[in-house]
Structure formats: C-alpha cells, structure tokens
Amino acid sequence: MNPNNNTTPQSLPRRRQPLKHSVRCGVCRHPEREEIERRYRLFESLRKIAADYPEFSHSALARHTQYLHLGQQRLTKLEQVARRLLVEFSTEP
C-alpha cells in the first residue's frame, strides 16, 4: 500500500462476486425466492416481507434486492405505469 495514499482496504469498494453472493445469500437459496422478489417488485415493503420470513432480517433482504438491482426494476415498473396513465388521461377530452 502506498504510504502517501490515505485509502485503506476497508475504504475501497467491494467488488461484486455473483457466485459468492448466491452461495452466501439465504434469499437466493430459499425455496420461495421468486415469491419474495415478486412481492418486492409489487412495492411491498421489506419490513412486511421480513415479518413473513423471520429467517431473514430487513438488512438481509435489502442487500439481496440491492445486489440484484430489484429497486431499479421497481422504478422501471413505476415509470411504465406513470406513462400509461399520462397517455390515458391526456387523450381524454
């Protein structure tokens, strides 16, 4: 490590390692993973999902959704709905 550089190993960004994530992530290995992700994509809160799956903390679910970019998928869905509503209401007399 460069003594003039103030970065430490702890301050460097962690690299995404897909295999490592899927092996260590309990949500990825859970038999109801698709249902958990579906509920999140349908804008159900992580706290409510965590309450139904006590084996997962809110933090564990948040890490899973962040790693798989599920939040971005939620936003994309919201944008699609907003566009449809704008078109529908802008074409009415």
- Can you give the pLDDT of all 93 residues of the chain as single tens digits? 444 544 444 443 455 555 677 778 999 999 999 999 999 999 999 999 999 999 999 999 999 999 999 999 899 988 999 999 998 888 755
- Rounded distance between C-alpha atoms, residue 10 and residue 22, angstroms: 23
Q: What are phi and psi of 51, to 5 degrees?
A: -65, -35
The helix, strand and coil proportions of the chain, stated in percent and rounded to the nearest 5, come to 65, 0, 35
> What residue spans define the domains of the chain?
17-91
Strand, helix or coil at 25?
coil
- Rounded distance between C-alpha atoms, residue 48 and residue 85, angstroms: 28
Rg (CA), the chain: 19
What pTM was computed for the model? 0.67
- Rounded distance between C-alpha atoms, residue 8 and residue 1, angstroms: 8
